[in-house]
Structure 1
Amino acid sequence: MDDVGEFDAAMHAAMDPQREPVGADVVERFIQETSWWHPHTCTTCGHTFRVGDRVRFERATGRVRHLDPVLGCWTGSEGRPAPPSATDVDDLKAFLDGIDDTWRVAGNMPVIAADEDAALLEPPLGGLARQVCLHCAHSFRPGELVVVCPCHPQAPECHYAVHRDPGRGLVCWEKWRPTGVLEVCPVTQRRLTAPAPTGST
């Protein structure tokens, strides 16, 4: 490895300090805020890297890929994790249902699973990126809850969307529009509501 390669490797290690076997060429890591690849896109599946994602990092090539089989990077050579038990699935569903019942969506926007809009999960084509959330800029993953076309959610006119899945920690809708009201279309920049009066003349 030349001086530039050693420098790059040291920078990557400093930006992503995690315990790993000494001298290992391939390591598994969890994405952190300081991970150098955190805001970037996986070259295998096209999904963005998020904090908490488990990835495999190859030192020799610098290649990083997701180890979540749902995202499509999985090769099977690492040994597939055991599926969750029926009890775990039921407990998770009850937990998510409870969150939905107690934390109502701002603006009473309709929320759907990303799987219900095929365009949100389409793989990248022709060098283009996957669809991403209008707020966090992360790609949509199977099962995540979203608000599609926030300007006209009852009858969507586009496939742009924003996460609204508090059970997964994705509260993009409330962070982006706490009142649940959109004044300007984020895609066309068209004003959706009349400006508030500034006073009588």
Structure 2
Amino acid sequence: MSWTIPKSGGGKAEKAPAGNHLAILVGLIDMGRQWQEPFNATKDKGYWAWRAYFVWELTEERIAGTGTNHVIAIDLSHSTNEKSKLRKWVEARTGRPLVEPFDPTTELGQACLLNVVMKGDYPRVEGMAALPKGFAVPRPTYPVTAVSLAEFRAGTPVPEWVPYLFGSPLEDHIRACEQIGGQRPRSRKKAEPASVEGGYEEYSDAADVPF
């Protein structure tokens, strides 16, 4: 699931362009244990899975008419399972096997080539690759930020530049986590559009790896 930060002042949001982009991870937000709907409601059961929101700045993609770069995000299972996207992407960026225990905050401020594709009319993070050696990396313009669930519960806000998830502020999703909301949310139909900025990502029932 991927989104671009909307333009301020209303109007239709400009979407991040497809392609391979120089990107820096500027945000990592702990979402707690989120309810995951089953793939097949007649055969499978839903489950709670720890997820985190990863936010990249596309450092060479300016939002038209602003002094602000595009930001794009995806929520991932906070897992180092061999099949997890988090593990595959970190290993692709570093060119090395991931060493456990793994602290995902070590990815903050790291640059990569981020592959963005269009899924229908919406941009989506598809994967990442390492930068060539000696490649010049500009400084991010957004503050590199991590917010743990404990910090959120203590009052630390989610930065205003963090994109919405499924058309809603990320705070709404965090408050619906098992640790805070404590109840299974209403089911979302798979065919239902996520939002004008969003799409769907497959889920992985893997081991939890909290911040």
Q: Name the TM tier (shorter chain).
A: under 0.3
Q: Which has the larger radius of gyration?
A: 1
Structure 1 or 2: more helix by fraction:
1
RCO (CA 8 Å, sep 6+): is it higher in 1 or 2? 2
